[in-house]
């Protein structure tokens, strides 16, 4: 089969490799229907040290089950499934508490012998804890619904996780920093949770226009000090109850604590590209700011969201604005990095 590997910064290659096979009784082998490129793939694509052994890429996918191990009971060959970006048993103590990304027996794609989703086939350990049937038949599912289902493997539920951890609800003013696919997903998720006002900070007019469709009530196209002042002006000087930081770079975090209201919450879902940051008296402490967030435990939210996606009440798949074939996946990375594409579907 063909699969995508990263060999160093900017060096994405599609290679012919042996088909994955069932290795344990809890495994499934999936045939990928569609995968996509994530903002976190781009972080790696920027920074990855040159290597002789390529790193398998991709962690978001819709798929059809091809084979299952002897112990797998929840899916069978032919089932059309969503695969969350993290692998989990969904039974350990952390899974039961709703933090499946910290599963005691969990895996992430591309590590520990696991392949990537930007491929024709992929082996999934812990298939019973991980895979969720879409409840639809692939052949009957149109393009728009396929894209929306695909967002349930990561991007939309990452946006939802940000809003959930930030305790967005009726009456809340939310500011979302970042008009990438996660930021726009956070806008949609905040609307769903009843936010009263949603301020979207982003500088790409086509993206913020989709953000307005998703529920943003205000758009702020400036950043840094100017952006902080603009949000303060929009909120009567008080700032935003919740700030969702969907970028992952330090300046976005600094913007977040400039914008957040006394007693408010900064919720981060952009994977931080920094380790240390201001958290003392001047940034968080004096104003009793809460900092939260992390990798989204997609699995815990998936079944709750599926009916609204299937009915069309939620259309998070609109974040996809380009499709590439697996052979052209490098072009997908390039286009996303150049901000020519918001989020790219990969068709094996």
Rounded to an integer, what distance in angstroms lies between the CA atom of residue 186 and that of residue 180?
A: 10
Residue 200 C-beta: closest distance to a second copy, Å: 23
Would you give the distance in Å from CA 201 to the centre of its chain?
18
Contact with a second copy (CB under 8 A): which of 24, 171, 238, 304? 238
Contact with a second copy (CB under 8 A): which of 276, 311, 313, 338? 276
Q: What dihedral do alpha carbons 149, 155, 156, 158 form, nearest 10°?
A: 140
Rounded to an integer, what distance in angstroms lies between the CA atom of residue 29 and that of residue 40?
A: 24
Helices 155-165 and 298-311: angle between axes, nearest 10 degrees = 110
Contact with a second copy (CB under 8 A): which of 77, 263, 307, 312? 263
Contact 111, 64 (CB under 8 A): no
Contact 250, 182 (CB under 8 A): no
Residue 279 within binding range of a second copy, rule CB under 8 A? yes
Residue 170 within binding range of a second copy, rule CB under 8 A? no
By CB under 8 A, which span of 142-150, 212-220, 225-233, 268-276 interacts with a second copy? 268-276
The C-alpha R_g of the chain, in whole angstroms, comes to: 20
Residue 262 C-beta: closest distance to a second copy, Å: 4
Buried b (16+ CB within 10 A) or exposed e, 20-41: bebeeebbbbbbbbbbbbbbbb
Residue 290 within binding range of a second copy, rule CB under 8 A? yes
Contact with a second copy (CB under 8 A): which of 163, 247, 291, 319? 291
Restricted to residues 180-199, the positions that interact with a second copy (CB under 8 A) are: none
Rounded to an integer, what distance in angstroms lies between the CA atom of residue 29 and that of residue 31?
A: 7
Residue 272 within binding range of a second copy, rule CB under 8 A? yes
Residue showing tokens 């991709």: 58
Contact with a second copy (CB under 8 A): which of 4, 90, 101, 148? 101
By CB under 8 A, which span of 9-17, 181-189, 267-275, 310-318 interacts with a second copy? 267-275
Residue 283 within binding range of a second copy, rule CB under 8 A? yes
Contact with a second copy (CB under 8 A): which of 286, 303, 304, 312? 286
Rounded to an integer, what distance in angstroms lies between the CA atom of residue 10 and that of residue 16?
A: 20
Helices 329-337 and 39-47: angle between axes, nearest 10 degrees = 90
Residue 302 within binding range of a second copy, rule CB under 8 A? no
Query: x/- site string to a second copy, residues 47 to 66, per CB under 8 A?
Result: --------------------
Residue 271 C-beta: closest distance to a second copy, Å: 7
Rounded to an integer, what distance in angstroms lies between the CA atom of residue 194 and that of residue 305?
A: 15
Quote the tokens at residue 282. 């001047």
By CB under 8 A, which span of 121-129, 194-202, 273-281, 333-341 interacts with a second copy? 273-281
Quote the tokens at residue 12. 């994405």
Contact with a second copy (CB under 8 A): which of 31, 287, 322, 334? 287
Positions in the binding site for a second copy (CB under 8 A):
93-94, 97-99, 101-102, 165, 238, 262-263, 268, 271-272, 274-295, 297
């Amino acid at each position: 089969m063909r699969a995508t590997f990263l060999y160093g910064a900017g060096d994405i290659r599609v290679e012919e490799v042996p088909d994955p096979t069932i290795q344990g009784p809890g495994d499934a082998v999936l045939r990928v229907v569609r995968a996509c490129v994530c903002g976190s793939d781009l972080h790696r694509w920027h920074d990855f040290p040159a290597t002789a052994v390529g790193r398998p890429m991709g962690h978001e996918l819709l798929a059809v089950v091809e084979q299952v191990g002897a112990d797998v009971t929840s899916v069978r060959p032919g089932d059309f499934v969503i695969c969350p970006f993290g692998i989990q048993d969904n039974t350990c103590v952390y899974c039961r508490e709703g933090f499946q990304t910290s599963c005691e027996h969990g895996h992430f794609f591309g590590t520990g012998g696991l392949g990537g989703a930007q491929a024709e086939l992929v082996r999934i350990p812990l298939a019973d804890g991980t895979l969720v049937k879409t409840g639809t038949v692939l052949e009957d599912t149109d393009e728009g619904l396929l894209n929306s289902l695909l967002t349930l493997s990561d991007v939309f539920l990452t946006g939802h996780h940000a809003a959930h951890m930030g305790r967005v609800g009726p009456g809340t003013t939310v500011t979302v920093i970042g008009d990438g696919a996660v930021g726009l997903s956070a806008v949609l998720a905040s609307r769903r949770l009843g936010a009263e006002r949603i301020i979207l900070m982003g500088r790409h007019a086509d993206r913020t226009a989709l953000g307005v469709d998703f529920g943003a009530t205000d758009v702020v196209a400036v950043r840094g000090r100017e952006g902080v002042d603009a949000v303060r002006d929009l909120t009567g000087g008080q700032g935003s109850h919740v700030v969702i930081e969907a970028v992952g770079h330090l300046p976005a975090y600094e913007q977040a604590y400039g914008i957040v209201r006394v007693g408010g919450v900064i919720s981060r879902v952009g994977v931080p590209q920094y380790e240390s940051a201001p958290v003392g008296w001047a940034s968080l402490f004096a104003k009793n700011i809460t900092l939260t967030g992390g990798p989204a435990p997609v699995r815990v939210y998936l079944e709750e969201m599926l009916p609204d996606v299937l009915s069309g009440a939620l259309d998070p798949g609109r974040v996809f604005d380009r499709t590439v074939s697996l052979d052209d996946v490098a072009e997908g990375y390039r286009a996303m990095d150049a901000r020519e594409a918001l989020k790219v579907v990969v068709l094996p």
